[in-house]
Amino acid sequence: MPDTPLMTEHEQGLQHQFVDMEQQRNASSLGMWLFLATEIMFFGGMFLAYLVYRYWYYPEFAAGSRSIDIVLGTVNTAVLICSSLTVALGVKAAQLGKRKALVTLLLITILFGLGFLAIKGIEWYQKFEEHHVPGRSFSAQDLIEKYPQIHIDPAPAQIYFSLYFAMTGLHALHMMIGVGVFCFLTFHAWKGSYTPEYHTPVEIGGLYWHFVDIVWIYLFPLLYLIDRKPLK
């Protein structure tokens, strides 16, 4: 038995515990998927709280949903879908080793992410102005006057807005973390750290970004589209 190891030259970025780059890449990706599974449970609790309260207090949820800006919500959905496209194209650029394209696409993704957060900020600002933030200054008086057809009790209406702020806030926090991760990726991509053989960080960062997009895909109909049909 020769005592030289099977692989004398280590491929760039290959850790010694893995057989080859593919196995290493699959292990990283599996780890990310496991993390995303815990994220599903994390968000799942909020979705369950939402479903139970919506089931109990449907009229307040319907009125609350009518009061948030559907145009901003739809635009934000579109912004996130565009960002997911740039991420997917970015991962492809990394697979092909196109450094310039990768840096550009990552930067555009960051811009989309910041745009999303800015629009979210405008939306929240409106809610503060309308006294729809749960707490001492909360008031559902405007909703009661605007929708006389719906029987609105201010206390459950606060629950809708609590969930609105908790869910969009938690999602926005994930977006901020995503923007941070993508800044890190952009810096390393610009330095040329990623090659067709080694670009795992771009790939799993992308998985995270797409996951946050999917959470929004569900938040959009659940928070904005509860009841938009014309009132009789």
Neighbours of 69 (CB within 10 A): 15
Task: Tell whether residue 60 is a contact of other proteins (CB under 8 A).
Answer: no
List binders of other proteins among 121-180 (CB under 8 A).
Answer: none
For residue 8, the minimal CB distance to other proteins (Å) is: 22
Q: 92-101 long-range CB contacts below 8 Å, 24 or more apart?
A: 94/189, 94/194, 94/196, 94/199, 94/202, 94/203, 95/196, 95/199, 96/196, 97/194, 97/195, 97/196, 99/189, 99/190, 99/192, 99/194
Which pair of tokens denotes residue 91?
Answer: 């991962």
Which pair of tokens denotes residue 214?
Answer: 């999917």
List binders of other proteins among 205-224 (CB under 8 A).
Answer: 206-207, 210-211, 213-214, 217-218, 220-222, 224
Q: Which of 17, 55, 137, 148 binds other proteins (CB under 8 A)?
A: 55
Residue 126, C-beta contacts closer than 8 angstroms, at least 6 positions apart: 69
* Residue 138 or 220 with smaller CB distance to other proteins: 220
Residue for token pair 């926005």 = 172
Task: Tell whether residue 37 is a contact of other proteins (CB under 8 A).
Answer: yes
Residues that bind other proteins (CB under 8 A): 22, 25-26, 29-30, 33-34, 36-37, 40-41, 44-45, 47-48, 51-52, 55-56, 70, 73-74, 77-78, 81-82, 84-85, 87-89, 92, 95-96, 206-207, 210-211, 213-214, 217-218, 220-222, 224-230
